[in-house]
Structure 1
Amino acid sequence: MVLDTMSQTVVLGVIGSDAHVVGITILEQAFSAAGFDVVNLGVQTSQEEFAEAAKAHDASAVLVSSLYGHAEQDCQGFHSVLEDAGVDAVSYIGGNLAVGQDDFEQTRQTFRELGFDRVFDSETDPEDAIAALREDLQISPTESEPATITS
């Protein structure tokens, strides 16, 4: 089954006490330009706010950003909160997820174990995240859009 991008809503925000807004602003613009309906929750977003917004907007994906290095603490129990709210959405996290992060593969594994479908570092091009989401939601890109995925 191939879905239409225009009918897909993504909820986006910066989790926990993090106040870094630039990354989600870039992601909001990129995902909107790619045809997704984006709900930007802004910075310092709680797990419950992500869950409430995802449920209210029937989101296909929840995109979590964190740049201050404490995402592991902020995301403990995150998927239980989503599940308790009845949210069945793809979940991504990206950014500078761990203080002193030197082995991103270990960081990726940590967040996969926390329940995230995909984990991106702070150097990821938004187009790579968009391509990954299209793949995960089984959305066919238009002929003018790249279909490669590097995550």
Structure 2
Amino acid sequence: MPRTVILGVIGSDAHVVGITILEQALSAAGFEVVNLGVQTSQAEFADAAKAHGAEAVLVSSLYGHARQDCEGFHDLLDSEGLDVLTYVGGNLAVGQDDFESTRETFREMGFDRVFDAETDPEDAIADLRRDLNLTTTEGEQVRVDS
């Protein structure tokens, strides 16, 4: 049974290339991907996670205002009773020159994983498999069954 993940670009950001690449890579890796597209609200992420029984929510942002767009996101997920992995990635802060500081900020906000814009999708997928306790065999099995 494929594992379902929610993917989208949060807030007012309209950059679509990153999530298109991620959608293709995640689908090829055997995940069921629900792509919410761009300019997605926090509530839309939560609603989709609930509706699809998702195990992970992947938030993308490239315009540098992710902190503002993600503020309170985990409070919303908690209030909806959602226990999902949360990943965020992209160009998360305007003038971002120390990514480790940015990573720490988002970890403190509750995100399980934080990626910069240069992260290879395969690295994020490997982390997702580890975080979901999927073995390579299970991942390959999911790919064959889908």
Contact 2:29–2:139 (Cα < 8 Å) also in 1: no
1:49 aligns with 2:29: no
Q: C-alpha distance in 2, partners of 1:36/1:143?
A: 11
Q: TM-score, normalised by structure 2?
A: 0.93
Unpaired runs of 5+ residues, structure 2, are 141-146
Change (3 A) 1:97 1:134: same
Q: C-alpha distance in 1, partners of 2:138/2:58?
A: 25
| SS of the residue 2:8 aligns to | strand
Q: In the alignment, which of 59, 64, 70 is matched to residue 59 of structure 2?
A: 64
Aligned residue pairs total 140
Change (3 A) 1:58 1:144: closer
Q: C-alpha distance in 2, partners of 1:113/1:15?
A: 18
RMSD over aligned Cα, in angstroms?
1.4
Greater share of helix: 2
Q: In the alignment, which of 79, 84, 95 is matched to residue 79 of structure 2?
A: 84
Q: C-alpha distance in 2, partners of 1:88/1:144?
A: 22
1:122 aligns with 2:134: no
Q: How does 1:1-151 map to 2 (within 5 A)?
A: 6-142=1-137
Query: How far did 1:24 drift?
Result: 0.2
| SS of the residue 1:13 aligns to | strand
Query: How far did 1:84 drift?
Result: 1.1
Identity of aligned residues (%): 77
Query: How far did 1:7 drift?
Result: 2.8
Q: TM-score, normalised by structure 1?
A: 0.90
1:73-115 CA-to-partner distances (Å, cap 9, x unmatched) read: 0000000111111211100000000000000000000000000
Q: C-alpha distance in 2, partners of 1:29/1:104?
A: 26
Unpaired runs of 5+ residues, structure 1, are 1-5, 146-151
| SS of the residue 2:95 aligns to | coil
Change (3 A) 1:144 1:70: closer
| SS of the residue 2:136 aligns to | coil
